[in-house]
Amino acid sequence: MDETTREREEGSQFLPRFDENGLIACITCEASSGHVLMLAFMNEEALRLSLATGIVHYWSRSRRQLWRKGDTSGQVQTIVEIRTDCDQDALLIAVNVGGDGKACHTGRTSCFYRRLVLADGAQSLVIDPT
């Protein structure tokens, strides 16, 4: 293993790796339960603001803008813990959710409210909140 890989995987330096679009994937989970709430992306500015304020900021790929989650909904995500993975190209953030405690714009607690069902070669989604 070369020195760079060792430092990235085992070191104490936080060296987040942004992809060719300047983004890093971020899994957000509920601190109390560990339930996965959503997946979104941060750019360097969103990560900087998240660390500086303790409130999660994302980069919206569809709207192409910085996005302080909860600004309109009140579902502000307060950071409890941030983890990074072996190659530091993903983040796992545990949060407390403000407002009504939900994370999804459809009104569900988690964005992952549908389960894929495979039957007789056909695929369908079933609404089945976690």
Which residues in this chain contact a copy of itself in the complex, by CB under 8 A?
9-14, 19, 25, 27, 29, 34-36, 38-39, 51, 61-62, 81-87, 90, 92, 104-106, 108, 111-116, 118, 123-127, 130
Q: How far is the CB of 105 from a copy of itself (least distance, A)?
A: 7
Do you know the residue count of the chain?
130
**In the complex, least distance from residue 18 CB atom to a copy of itself, rounded to whole angstroms:** 13
Residues forming beta bridges with residue 78, ordered by sequence position: 55, 96
Residues 6+ apart with CB under 8 A from 16: 24, 47, 84, 88, 89, 91
Give strand pairing partners of 40: 26
Measured distance CA(71)–CA(35) in Å, rounded: 22
Closest distance to a copy of itself from the beta carbon of 14 (Å): 5
